[in-house]
Amino acid sequence: MSTRLDLTQDVGALTARIVDIESVSGDEKVLADAVEEALRALPHLRVDRDGESIVARTGLGRSERVVIAGHIDTVPVADNLPSHVEDGLLYGCGTSDMKAGVAVALKLAAALDEPARDVTYVFYDCEEIEAERNGLRRLSLDHPDWLTGDFAVLMEPTDGEIEGGCQGTLRAEITVRGRRAHSARSWLGVNAVHRAMPVLEILNAYQARQPVVDGLEYHEGLNAVAIRGGVAGNVIPDECVVTVNYRFAPDLSLDAAQEHVREVFDGFELRFTDLAPAARPGLTDPVAGAFVAAVGGTPRAKLGWTDVSLFSGLGIPAVNYGPGDPNLAHQRGEYVSLEKIADCERRMIGWLRG
């Protein structure tokens, strides 16, 4: 079967074509080759490639440059390929997250040879797995000049609504120590699992902040996500580890978020195991304001972490905006509305044409 992409076809049909080219994280080469081939056929774009990530740029000398980015990988297929259409909905692996957004970006690249703003289109690999392999992260480290821009739109599924910035996230392990003993003579030991109760009480009593940042309300959360302890059915455990996850608003830096967790669990042995910074919405920027005016709707906070954080780290204000429903991402029955894809394409074209 040919993997050629026809960028002149309807955006819904193009989405289905992209969905049917399997591209589970780490195995995106076939789709990356097809994307590169389609983009290199467009004379108004300069195309570069790093691994399985493709970057295409206009060079019209406009006063503003915007970046439109989307990942081409999906989670593992779950008996949900090939794609099919039912009642105006396109079903298949990656339809919502986020091949519909990729299709929209490819249609924009083909249709707009003289946009009002210079545009950089980024199609990258390995977003759905560990951050060290993320293609956008790799580009930001190895080719930051490829990502230069005044504003960025990440085509993450948002159900056609603008979601500004993103929450930061960190995980920490809180270790409580005890002393081993035979469970028949438990009074000779100290039960570390029992001693972890104060940690859970702190979490139960915790009042999460709901700060307003750049006009958007975020809702933080600090929760236990795992607990482990015990070595055998007849041994009093000498260690219990509670793993907590803190989702924090973008008015906090990573350092400030870590310090907050240290204060909450003051006196406990604590070790951070995973850290990812938040990103401010940046909606006060004039380029972002023009995007909001063109797309319409009321922006809301992104309650989760996305790669807009990487753009924020490069000093580029960024938002999430795509046709898929985030609540359907990674599900076996994942789907996207064909109407939402077409509407997203229309709104993005209107913005880029000025």
What is the Cα Rg of the chain in Å?
Answer: 23
| Residue from 36, 52, 127, 214 carrying the catalytic annotation | 127
Task: Return the structure tokens found at 148.
Answer: 């230069």
**Phi and psi (nearest 5°) for 215?**
85, -5
Total count of residues recorded for the chain: 354
User: Tell me, what DSSP letter sits at residue 95?
Assistant: I
Q: Is 342 exposed, middle or buried (0-12, 13-18, 19+ CB in 10 A)?
A: middle
Contact by Cβ (8 Å): 238, 189 = yes
- The string of DSSP codes covering 288-312 is HHHHHHHH-S--EE--S--THHHHH
d(CA 89, CA 235): 55
Query: Do the beta carbons of residue 328 and residue 77 sit within 8 Å?
Result: no
CA 99 to chain centre: 14
127 is catalytic: yes
3-state DSSP assignment of residue 147: helix
DSSP assignment of 97-114, as one string? IIIHHHHHHHHHHHH-SS
Contact residues for 256 (Cβ-Cβ < 8 A; gap 6+): none
Rounded-to-10 torsion of CA 327, 92, 128, 106: -100
Q: SS3 for 264? A: helix
Of residues 36, 52, 73, 150, which has the active-site annotation? Answer: 73
Neighbours of 213 (CB within 10 A): 18
Active site amino acids: 73, 127
